[in-house]
Structure 1
């Protein structure tokens, strides 16, 4: 069971999906066909229904050109060691000045 906050987030996500679809002038029937779902399923997505599979959301985001946004949800954390190595490499560089 999802809580109130999670439900609100799903509703907002559904609203953004609907807005993006409408912005592209893509009717429900055609968009539903392209992502491989029925019109009632697309309607449920746009209402923020939590029963929609994540695979369906990925397909919809792909059709909207937003798949990179989905990939950022749980992004790889930057390692402090990697950041330190990069800083050390740039710190040891010497700037070469051009003679005038």
Structure 2
């Protein structure tokens, strides 16, 4: 029997629960209370509390971005989908690719 490990084996709810716990660690590291984060982010204290306890089954991506921004860690969001690396073959194609052709009138 093959057992999967890591994030691939977790449900969305489990991942969100873990992210909530990590968010709490980041918030405490930033020396902010839930109330301060609520004011800065526009997210209710109840939602923040539930998220940190892992009791939110579904939280919007916009809400997570607001929370990260409020504690000064918005740059971490880029790690979710970092820019793809440019391959040498793509560079060669880009040199040959024209953006537009103009004809004189």
Aligned residues: 83
Match of 1:43 in 2: 49
Match of 2:20 in 1: 14
Match of 1:94 in 2: none
Q: TM-score, normalised by structure 2?
A: 0.64
1:17-60: CA deviation from partner (whole Å, max 9, x where unpaired): 11111222211122112110211111122134232211111111
Higher helix share: 1
Query: How has the CA–CA distance of structure 1 residues 51 and 8 changed in structure 2, closer, same or farther, with 3 Å as cutoff?
Result: closer
Bigger mean CA offset, 23-32 vs 75-84: 75-84
Unpaired segments ≥5 residues, structure 1: 86-100
Query: How has the CA–CA distance of structure 1 residues 78 and 4 changed in structure 2, closer, same or farther, with 3 Å as cutoff?
Result: closer
Q: TM-score, normalised by structure 1?
A: 0.67
2:71 and 2:47 mapped to 1: Cα distance? 17
1:66-85: CA deviation from partner (whole Å, max 9, x where unpaired): 21111121122112126877
3-state DSSP class of the match of 2:37? helix
Match of 2:6 in 1: none
Judge conservation of contact 2:17–2:57 (CA < 8 Å) in 1.
no
1:83 and 1:69 mapped to 2: Cα distance? 28
Match of 2:82 in 1: 75
